[in-house]
Amino acid sequence: MNPQSTIFIKGNSLPPGSKQEYNITVYTENQIGIINRITIIFSRRKINIQNLNSSPSEVPGIHRLNIVLEETEEVIKKLVRQIEKQVDVLKVYYHTNDEIIWQEMALYKVPTDIIAEKVKVERLLHQFGARVVAIRKDFTVFETTGHREETDQLIKTLEPFGLIEFVRSARVAIFKDSEGLYKKVKEFEKQQPSEEVVENEYLDRQSEVFTM
C-alpha cells in the first residue's frame, strides 16, 4: 500500500483533538468476508460506525465502501492505516464533509387517504423535493435525497400526518478533488510497479484493469 496519501494534514480550523464527522472511502477486492475484516478494525477499538455503504465501483471486481463516523483526525488516520494494511484493500482515503459531495436517500411511507385529503401534505412534499415512487390504495411511498438534516426535518413534518414507515440509506459520497479511480490506480501502479501480473486466476480474475 502507498502510505503517503494518508499523511497530509487536512486544512480545517478545528482545534486539534476534537471530533468531527469523517468519511472513509475504501476500495477493496470483491472478496467474501472483506467487510467483516474492515468492520472489526472499528469494533476492536470500540468505535461506532454511523453508516456504511458498500457497492461495486466503476471498475468491475472492485468495491467501494463509504464509512461515516465521528472521530478525531488522529484516530481516523490510524484507522485508515489499519484498513489499508488489509491484504484485499486497494486504497483508502478519508475526507471531511467539506471535501466531498454527499447524499443520503430516504423513503417515507404515508397513508394515501391523508395525502388525498390534505393538500398541505402534498405541498410539503413538493417543498422538500420528494418524489413519489409508489402509490397504492392504502399507502404512498415518497423518496428524497439530501443531507441528514433535510430528511430529519421531513420526518418531523410528516409525523403528525401519520408516517407509517421510514428508512434511510447509508451515505454515498464523491470527492471534490478527485479525477477518478482510474487515474489514481494508474499512479499507484506507476509508483510501485508489479514485477509480474500473471497469477491468481481465481483470486484476481479482473486484474487486466490494473495492469494496463
Residues binding another protein (CB under 8 A): 1-4, 6, 28-29, 32-33, 36-37, 40, 44, 77-78, 81-82, 84-85, 87-90, 191-192, 194-204, 207-208, 210-212
Contact call for residues 65 and 41 (beta carbons, < 8 A): no
Residue nearer to another protein on the CB measure, 159 or 208: 208
Least distance in angstroms from the C-beta of 29 to another protein: 5
Q: Output the furthest CA–CA distance in the chain (Å, rounded).
A: 69
Residue nearer to another protein on the CB measure, 44 or 136: 44
Least distance in angstroms from the C-beta of 73 to another protein: 12
84-99 burial, b at 16+ Cβ within 10 Å, e below that, comes to bebeebbbbbbbbbeb
Residue nearer to another protein on the CB measure, 18 or 200: 200
Least distance in angstroms from the C-beta of 114 to another protein: 45
Residue nearer to another protein on the CB measure, 91 or 171: 91
Bridge-based pairing state of the strands 20-29 and 89-96: antiparallel
Least distance in angstroms from the C-beta of 162 to another protein: 41
**Which helix (H) or strand (E) covers residue 79, if one does?**
helix 73-85
Least distance in angstroms from the C-beta of 39 to another protein: 10
- Which residue in 188, 190, 144, 191 sits closest to 169, CA to CA? 144
For residue 56, the tally of other CB atoms under 10 A from its CB is 11
Residue nearer to another protein on the CB measure, 122 or 204: 204
